[in-house]
A = this chain, B = another copy of it.
Amino acid sequence: MTRLYADPARFGEDQLRGFAAAYPEHITLVPGGVIRSAPPRHGQVAVVVGGGSGHYPAFSGLVGSGLAAGAVVGNIFTSPSSRQAESVARAADTGGGVLFCFGNYAGDRMNFGMAQARLRDAGIDTRTVLVTDDVASAPAERRGERRGIAGDFTVFKVAGAAAEEGLALDDVEAAARRANDATYSFGIAFAGCTMPGADAPLFTVPDGKMAIGLGIHGEPGVEDADLADAPTVAKILVDRLLAERPATAGRRVAAVLNGLGATKYEELFLLWGHIARALTGAGLTVVRPEVGELVTSLDMAACSLTLMWLDDDLERWWCAPADAPGFRRLPAPETPTAPRALPDAVPGTPIVQGDAASREAAETVLTLLRGVRAALHDAAAELGRVDAVAGDGDHGRGMTKGVDAAVRAAEDAHHRGAGARCLLSAAADAWADEAGGTSGVLWGVGLRALAQHLGDTGPVDAARAAAGARAALDAVTSLGGAKPGDKTLVDALVPLVDTFTAAIDRGDDAVAAFGRAAAEAQAAAEATAGLTPRLGRARPLAERSIGTPDAGALSLALCARTSADLLAESPR
């Protein structure tokens, strides 16, 4: 929802003043909107765009060289008045006439239309091109009734580039009309935006649904469908636009994957990966796609795909440089004649063959890793819930990602005859590499330190295991810096290692000792519920976590108990 304002009724004017304060080199306030600070060449056609605010970078952010000469800015989702449009057009005109370009909405049509009549009366040649790209808003045979959504951007871009080339008003108008004829958009919404001063969104989408065919003023879609994953959404968007591919269209398209506000960049990129594959699969070449927020709707959660079918002129105008506060296009970097030469990949863990005894120990290690993998997958959701109390809820997923990679690497090493040290080293590196994060690197260094004591020759005896356990604890605490009581996995690791190594020092049976040590680790992990995290986290997180054990300590104890149980069951 929209929270930052002083007076909701003056949101449009207030935000525009702040915008002007941010970009004084680029734009200058005039009554009704903004124009470029640096005047274009005398006689250059002034492309004047506009509409309500709430769509940034449309419309004020698209004023700059190679794009619009001015923008008329109304209040949120409200057409500017005809006087505003007239005022901005007069200020932007440098003698070449004015092209009004805006999305097809009744209020804008009326207000810009009255302004056009008055400008013509005053001797300023003025034309209008409406953007009608939204295929969901009317059937193809009533193209002229369609609304303008993110296709605003491709049409403005072409009109601005044509004006920058110095074309006459007739030709700039024709270019914009050609761009609009070639531009088609289709969108999907997940949640509505909330207007300044309102306490509820303009619409809601039922749980588990998405709205097909969005509007950009908080209009819901034209129908609800089941919420789908990214590949399915990509297919819906692409199929709908390809179904309207014009008969005359070539194989080159400009594309805009537009986020409406709260559907964010990484989601859009992920979706774009699927869209790009679908377009390429249809035999098309995508030219300088734009993936980001170009025509927004406050904080609406939604996205739309726009295609503009290119001819040579449209492609030149689409690719031309532009410099506006909300959109900058530089000339494309020179395409390297060959892909950049890259160094060899970081070398992987080399495989050291083990002798028979070490290979047998390696097999035991692999069995334990597989058991741990199963246990972590079973516990992943619960670990996530525990972690979500004071963290990002991702601990279960990180652990399973790490252990999955560790088992794969260990299986590969086993297949190639690795000894115990080599196999566990490879598993440790894979765990750290795949899981990433804090727990990934700590598990990686811990297991790697343990591995160094297992050897690639001879059996793994109690002394080796104990030395490895101590080394693992040392490696984890020295890298991570945590001490007992800090509410980390160290709270479980210390009793695990201390109990085990003390028992080995006394000459106890190693398997039995490890079982008791794992039980101690479990008790210690549960006892972390009484602790608060060490400094470095924000205070509310620390407070929030009281009464909940540390997820990292719990997962360590789980791995230890699982291993102990498997060792106890296995033949000696």
Contact = CB atoms under 8 A, between A and B. Distances in A.
A408 interface: no
A219 B340 contact: no
Interface in A172-218: 190, 195, 197-198, 200, 202, 210-211, 213, 215, 217-218
A31 B223 CA distance: 42
As for how many copies of this chain the complex holds, the number is: 2
A267 B12 CA distance: 10
Interface in A268-313: 268-274, 276, 289, 291, 296, 298-299, 301, 303
Interface in A527-570: 535-541
Nearest to A111: B441
Contacts of A535: 138, 145
B83 A429 contact: yes
A266 B56 contact: yes
Interface stretch (A3-11, A161-169, A355-363): A3-11
Given A36-B340, A78-B436, 20 more contacts: A4-B230, A6-B231, A15-B266, A18-B274, A21-B276, A22-B276, A26-B333, A37-B336, A39-B341, A78-B440, A81-B444, A82-B433, A90-B343, A91-B342, A107-B441, A110-B441, A136-B538, A195-B393, A213-B538, A222-B538
A5 B346 contact: no
A346 B83 CA distance: 7
Contact of A219 (B19, B264, B332, B538): B538
Given A22-B289, A202-B393, A213-B538, A340 B39 contact: yes
Interface stretch (A395-403, A414-422, A498-506): A395-403
Contacts of A19: 266, 269, 272, 291
B397 A438 contact: no
A17 interface: yes
A335 B28 CA distance: 12
Contact of A15 (B79, B269, B436, B437): B269
A158 interface: no
B269 A16 contact: yes
Given A22-B272, A37-B336, A540-B220, A81 B434 contact: yes
Interface stretch (A69-77, A240-248, A465-473): A69-77
Interface string A322-340: 0100101010111110011
B106 A536 contact: yes
Contacts of A5: 229-230, 267, 270
A86 interface: yes
A212 to B, nearest CB: 11
Contacts of A342: 30, 91
Contacts of A441: 79, 81-82, 107, 110-111, 114
Nearest to A118: B346
Given A268-B4, A333-B25, A540-B220, A436 B81 contact: yes
A91 B346 CA distance: 10
Q: Which of A8, A264, A267, A434 has the most CB of B within 10 A?
A: A264
A80 interface: yes
B264 A220 contact: no
12 contacts: A38-B334, A77-B394, A91-B343, A110-B479, A137-B538, A145-B535, A195-B394, A202-B388, A211-B540, A223-B540, A262-B299, A265-B296
Nearest to A13: B270
A433 B78 contact: no
B2 A267 contact: yes
A435 B81 CA distance: 7
Contact of A346 (B22, B31, B197): B31
A116 interface: no
A239 to B, nearest CB: 17
A364 interface: no
Given A328-B330, A392-B202, A537 B56 contact: no
A6 B332 contact: no
A427 interface: no
B272 A18 contact: yes
A83 B432 contact: yes
Contacts of A202: 388, 392-393
B270 A540 contact: no
A222 to B, nearest CB: 5
A35 interface: yes
Nearest to A190: B3
A477 interface: no
Contact of A53 (B257, B266, B398): B266
B436 A84 contact: yes
Given A333-B25, A541-B220, A77 B392 contact: yes
Nearest to A214: B538
A61 interface: yes
A442 interface: yes
Nearest to A277: B21
A354 interface: no
A224 to B, nearest CB: 8
A76 B264 CA distance: 13
Contacts of A128: none
